[in-house]
Amino acid sequence: MTPLRGRILCTEDDEDTRGLLVITLNMAGYEVICTDNAEKALALIKSEKFDLCLLDNWMPGVSGEDLCKKIREFDGRTPILFYSGAAYEEDKKRAIGAGAQGYLVKPVMDDKLIAEVGRIIAESRVVAPIAVCLPNQPD
């Protein structure tokens, strides 16, 4: 059995797309928890640990951009990747400006989705080296 590569919260209002994302990411070794709206997503991210949030930009009620901003109000660490049909460059810029680490326009090939998910999770796990300040040494 493949070891778990990470836990993903997927917020997508389209049932067919959710199903495809779950299958694709499960086969790549990720555990995927899905919700179809922003309110459920916020409740989950506040109560559970995820390695990535995967957001649609166009959802009923609250946009993915608004959801991203709400997540960033209390969670600055969990990376966010948009997977959306909103393909304008302005949509991408607003998502990144709201705190996302990536943006994919659907549909994309499974390998591209898996590669981007893996890249973003790996980057979030890299710990910046701690600078060591030594007192001035006499000459």
Two tokens, residue 105: 């326009």
CA–CA gap between residue 41 and residue 80 (Å, rounded):
12
User: pLDDT (tens digit, 0 to 9) for every residue of the chain, 139 residues total?
Assistant: 556 899 999 999 999 999 999 999 999 999 999 999 999 999 999 999 999 999 999 888 889 999 999 999 999 999 999 999 888 999 999 999 999 999 999 889 999 999 999 999 999 988 544 444 445 545 4
Domain ranges of the chain: 6-125
CB atoms within 10 A of CB 117: 26
Q: What is the pTM of this model?
A: 0.87
Q: Domain 6-125: which topology?
A: Rossmann fold (3.40.50)
